[in-house]
Amino acid sequence: MDPRQVRNFLAVVEHGGFGRAAAALGLAQPTLSQSVKALERELGVALFRRVAHGVVPSGAGRRFLGPARQLMHDVARLDASVGGHQRPVLELVAAAPLAAHPGAALVGSFVAAHPDVLVHLDRGAVLTRVRDGAGELGLTYLSTVDDLRTVELGRHTFVLAFPPGTRLPGTGDRVPLRILDDRPLIGVPHGSSQRRLVEAALRAADVHPRLIVENGQRDLSAALVLNGVGAAFVPDVAAAALTARGAVVRAVDPPLHLAYGLVHRPIALTAIAEAFLHHVAG
């Protein structure tokens, strides 16, 4: 099996079509199509099925995704082990709240030290994408994941941001959770670490806010707060920017913390992933 065929298969999956994948790879579309057809003949299965706006993996294609990504991972490791000249690529998947803080700073300092590296930084379901090989490293809030290795990098403390002009009782810089009772709240989606943390704290305090909007994008939550929709829990690293734009930001009593860090499968990492891990954890 030619690794280039596997690379081409993965490109079609990631770009959702042969035309877009060919453009990304710098290939003519007929060349890419022939490469995938040759791989399908070798495997004896159809890897794609057509849909309205492109192609999606068939059942066999979905089953081939994990092994295909593992093969490309192994090829990269082999190339690095013999001093190959391929440009090193770091495959990093970051949870939406962490891609900007601390993700941008971590990637920035790393590429400054390794200017030859190309970083593929994606946002999405981190644990799923790391498990299936779509990303070699994942940056996420940490929880118990027995099948993945974790490296804690730090913690976020969550504060409450209120719309501009909000009048709060008292003059301190902290507010109790009970201030949210029957108050409009902007929440994050079910299943997220932040959602579990906040819901557990609200249950323990017997506090019942009115959930107005659910969304998983920090920038959108900030815009909703600033436009008077409701209060939102945000990481402390976002507090200064929100305050500068007029939001009323207060620490929470008791404080709410979440550890964040890197996750990866329990296999040997590529040299560039190892370098990134040591860079950010050192």
Instruction: List, by residue range, all CATH 3.40.190.290 domains of the chain.
Output: 156-257
Q: pLDDT, tens digit, for every residue of 172-211?
A: 789 999 999 999 999 998 888 899 999 999 999 999 999 9
Count the Cβ atoms, other than its own, within 10 Å of residue 67.
11
Class of the CATH-defined domain 156-257 = alpha beta
Provide the pLDDT confidence category of residue 52 given band limits of 50, 70 and 90.
Answer: confident
The per-residue pLDDT for 100 is 85
Question: What pTM value is reported for the model?
Answer: 0.72
Q: Would strands 248-253 and 174-176 be described as parallel, antiparallel, or unpaired?
A: parallel
Q: pLDDT, tens digit, for every residue of 68-85?
A: 877 877 776 666 655 555
Euclidean distance between CA atoms 159 and 161, whole angstroms: 7
The per-residue pLDDT for 78 is 65
Mean pLDDT of the chain: 88
Q: pLDDT, tens digit, for every residue of 96-136?
A: 778 888 999 999 999 999 888 888 888 878 888 888 777 88
Among 10, 271, 18, which residue's Cα sits nearest to residue 134?
A: 10
Question: At the topology level of CATH, where does 1-68 sit?
Answer: Arc Repressor Mutant, subunit A (1.10.10)
Which residues of the chain form beta strands (DSSP E)? 48-51, 54-57, 89-94, 118-123, 137-141, 149-162, 174-176, 184-187, 210-214, 231-235, 248-253, 256-264
Instruction: List, by residue range, all CATH 1.10.10.10 domains of the chain.
Output: 1-68
